[in-house]
Structure 1
């Protein structure tokens, strides 16, 4: 399976599609399909980009 998040770059804001309680997250790094995101409510999480398509957030409001 290909990387569903290949367009993500550090600094981008995202949400996890099946974990809305985690709140807004900021991408910290994207390395070989592994995305490290710092979520407001749970802290730093490493996500397998081949399994989860994170939702980009372009407007925080």
Structure 2
């Protein structure tokens, strides 16, 4: 399964709004590495968390 998340995309975590805006760093085998404003670099399992793409930010 190919991820819809590509490096450079801006996203938000649905249950952690305090992390702020995040930028996708990589997406490999269902693991998405995101650098969030207030949480730093976090690896997200795409099967467990539905990140929210942010357009026009």
TM-score of the pair, normalised by structure 2: 0.94
The number of equivalent residue pairs is: 57
Q: Show structure 1 runs of 4+ deviating over 4 A.
A: none
How far does residue 52 in structure 1 lie from its aligned partner after superposition?
A: 0.4
Cα distance in 2, alignment partners of residues 6 and 17 from structure 1:
17
TM-score of the pair, normalised by structure 1: 0.88
Cross-structure match for 2:12: 15
